[in-house]
């Protein structure tokens, strides 16, 4: 099976990136990370990638700030790097910048994100805190395709995590993260096997469809 070529976008810690690197190294994921891009120079995830000999690129947002359509201009620079590395599937892994339609359209049906709640509950920032504040008894995490609406794209895989009486945002985040590290590589492997078919709002997990590059 041809390995799916990934570009991973991060802003920080990079623990999901690490889980993808590990899944590849353990032979559980038929993928190759061609490049890791960050909008933060000091993102810990960049060091994680470098340790594994993976190419990293920091795209500094500063010079773009003065330009008209600065967010699109920034995403064009990101897109140039992704294309240069022949990236087939874009993985958002704790990437804290809103992605513009320029990038979303270029990678329609070929960009995934992970979110620490059971979408469509608790989109946006501080999802774990939102779940606690709402008094939810169950939360979890979601891998979904990226569309124009933030955290709104077709859901690929979810995992549920019960909320405990004494949970804080931190303790809940830790338990959710364990599941994130399992389901993100799983979702990417389904893509690699050509088993994801987007059907309106839904992602159907099918026998196998040919991956279109």
Catalytic residues: 115
Q: Which residue is nearest to ligand GRF (CB)?
A: 94
**CB-nearer residue toward ligand GRF: 128 or 203:** 128
Q: CB within 8 A of 189, min separation 6: which ones?
A: 23, 28, 29, 30, 31
Neighbours of 18 (CB within 10 A): 18
Q: How far is the CB of 173 from ligand GRF (least distance, A)?
A: 7
Q: How far is the CB of 171 from ligand GRF (least distance, A)?
A: 14
For residues 8 and 31, the answer to whether their CB atoms sit within 8 Å is no
Give the single-character DSSP code of 3: P
- How open is the CA angle 106-118-23, to the nearest 5 degrees? 65
Q: How far is the CB of 122 from ligand GRF (least distance, A)?
A: 11
**CB-nearer residue toward ligand GRF: 82 or 177:** 177
Task: Tell how many helices (H) and how many strands (E) occur in the chain.
Answer: 6, 9
**CB-nearer residue toward ligand GRF: 150 or 197:** 150
**CB-nearer residue toward ligand GRF: 50 or 80:** 50
Q: How far is the CB of 14 from ligand GRF (least distance, A)?
A: 5
Three-state SS for 199? strand
What is the C-alpha to C-alpha distance for residues 97 and 42, in angstroms, rounded to an integer? 15
Q: Could you list the residues that contact ligand GRF (CB under 6 A)?
A: 12-16, 45, 93-94, 114-116, 177, 180
């Amino acid at each position: 099976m041809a390995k799916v070529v990934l570009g991973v976008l991060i802003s920080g810690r990079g623990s999901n990136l690490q889980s993808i690197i590990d899944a590849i190294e353990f032979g559980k994921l038929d993928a190759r990370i061609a490049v890791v891009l960050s909008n933060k120079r000091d993102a810990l995830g960049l060091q994680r990638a470098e340790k594994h000999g993976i190419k990293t690129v920091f795209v500094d947002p500063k010079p773009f700030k003065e330009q008209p359509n600065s967010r699109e201009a920034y995403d064009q620079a990101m897109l140039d790097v992704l294309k240069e590395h022949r990236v087939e599937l874009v993985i958002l892994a704790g990437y804290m910048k809103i992605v513009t339609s320029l990038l979303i359209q270029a990678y329609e049906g070929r960009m995934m994100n992970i979110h620490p709640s059971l979408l469509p509950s608790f989109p946006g920032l501080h999802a774990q805190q939102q779940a606690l504040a709402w008094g939810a008894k169950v939360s979890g995490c979601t891998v979904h395709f990226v569309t124009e609406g933030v955290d709104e794209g077709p859901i690929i895989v979810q995992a549920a995590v019960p909320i405990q009486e004494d949970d804080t945002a931190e303790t809940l985040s830790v338990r959710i993260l364990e599941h994130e590290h399992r389901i993100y590589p799983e979702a990417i492997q389904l893509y690699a096997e050509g088993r994801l078919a987007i059907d309106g709002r839904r992602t159907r997990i099918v026998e196998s469809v040919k991956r279109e590059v």
